Amino acid sequence: MKRNYFLLTGLIASTVVMFGANALAQDIATVEAQLTGTPASLTSDPVVTAILSQPGTYGGHAFTGWSFLVQDATGSLDIFASAASLTTLGYTPTVGDELSLAGTYSPFHQIPEIETLTAISKVGAAVAPGPVVQTIPNLNVPTLPFSIAGYLLEVQNVTISGGGAFSTTFPNYAGGNVSYTITDGSGNSMVFYDWVTSYSTAANMGGNAVPTGPVDLIGFDSVFAGPPASPEFTAMEIIPIPEPTTLCLCGGGGLLALMFRLRRKA
């Protein structure tokens, strides 16, 4: 546990209404307006923008699930599924895939999410949009707007400090979660949460030196409920400035791979 702790008309629209309380949503914005636990169906052909989680052994620990971001014209959210369920449904997450899917809307730490998938299929392919550049003041808020929550994000030109015993070297899975601080050139700061017990990319980064100079971070924003509420940026990729190399928290060739939330699912 942490801290010890994403134009239907006429006939189609009327058909959806007939489902009553179990009405299925059509695009991400409609899903995000629903209550937790509501059945959700994305038929807006959202595109997979980043693989956040994939099965495999990273940092000495076996992670066993998938998590990936999908985005349409109305928003972005996370899809969470076990490896077994996706095998049964016959789909392997791939950046650029356009999807149709159904499951249950279940936000987590203010990240809009669909889990418990009952259907998923590839319906096309597209060029996946890149990360949305954001600033620390926009991210360091107790309530995330849907223009941030569930999106692949980039924070530019920040320095990393703190980390206690792991101030110079990132921890692996066995080292546990560590809170760092990221600070921009204007002195704005927020938590960079190295979530090694929940994401294999963080565990896989273990043993690498913590950069001492400015970097760009690619990842996602979330808010730990607290109290107090704690906005936290979790990095998937660390890019030194200037960019001679990229410290990618990927594993097994996966693009921007973040891994299974162990604190939630076994």
Mean pLDDT value across residues 143-165: 97
**Cβ neighbours of 51 (radius 10 Å):** 23
Look at residue 61 in the predicted model and tell me its pLDDT: 87
195 within a domain of the structure (yes/no) = yes
159 within a domain of the structure (yes/no) = yes
Q: 62 and 87 share a domain? A: yes
Q: 147 and 234 share a domain? A: yes
Report the distance separating Cα 70 and Cα 68, nearest Å: 7
Q: Which of 97, 125, 153 is the last residue of a domain?
A: 125
Q: 168 and 234 share a domain? A: yes
Strand locations in the chain (E): 39-42, 47-53, 56-58, 61-63, 65-72, 75-82, 97-105, 113-125, 132-134, 153-162, 178-183, 189-194, 215-224, 230-240, 247-248
Bigger pLDDT: 21 or 177? Answer: 177
Q: 96 and 141 share a domain? A: no
169 within a domain of the structure (yes/no) = yes
Q: 103 and 186 share a domain? A: no
Q: 16 and 121 share a domain? A: yes
pLDDT, tens only, 213-247:
999 999 999 999 988 999 999 998 899 998 655 55
Q: 117 and 16 share a domain? A: yes
Report the distance separating Cα 6 and Cα 242, nearest Å: 33
Q: Which of 125, 159, 190 is the last residue of a domain?
A: 125
Percent of the chain with pLDDT over 70: 82
259 within a domain of the structure (yes/no) = no
DSSP H helices in the chain: 10-17, 28-32, 83-89, 136-139, 200-204
254 within a domain of the structure (yes/no) = no
- What's the distance, CA 75 to chain centroid? 14
- What's the distance, CA 121 to chain centroid? 20
Instruction: Note down the domain range covering 146.
Output: 132-248
Domain count, the chain: 2
Q: Which of 56, 90, 125 is the last residue of a domain?
A: 125
5 within a domain of the structure (yes/no) = no
**CB-based burial of residue 60 (10 Å sphere; 0-12 exposed, 13-18 middle, 19+ buried)?**
exposed
260 within a domain of the structure (yes/no) = no
Q: 188 and 229 share a domain? A: yes
Report the distance separating Cα 98 and Cα 48, nearest Å: 7
Look at residue 247 in the predicted model and tell me its pLDDT: 55
**CB-based burial of residue 40 (10 Å sphere; 0-12 exposed, 13-18 middle, 19+ buried)?**
buried
Q: 120 and 206 share a domain? A: no
Q: 116 and 142 share a domain? A: no
Q: 161 and 85 share a domain? A: no
2 within a domain of the structure (yes/no) = no
Give the model's confidence band at 197: pLDDT under 50 very low, under 70 low, under 90 confident, else very high. confident
Q: 87 and 137 share a domain? A: no
The reported pTM is 0.82
- For the domain that residue 110 is a member of, what is the CATH number? 2.40.50.200
Report the distance separating Cα 31 and Cα 24, nearest Å: 8
pLDDT, tens only, 165-181:
999 999 988 999 999 99
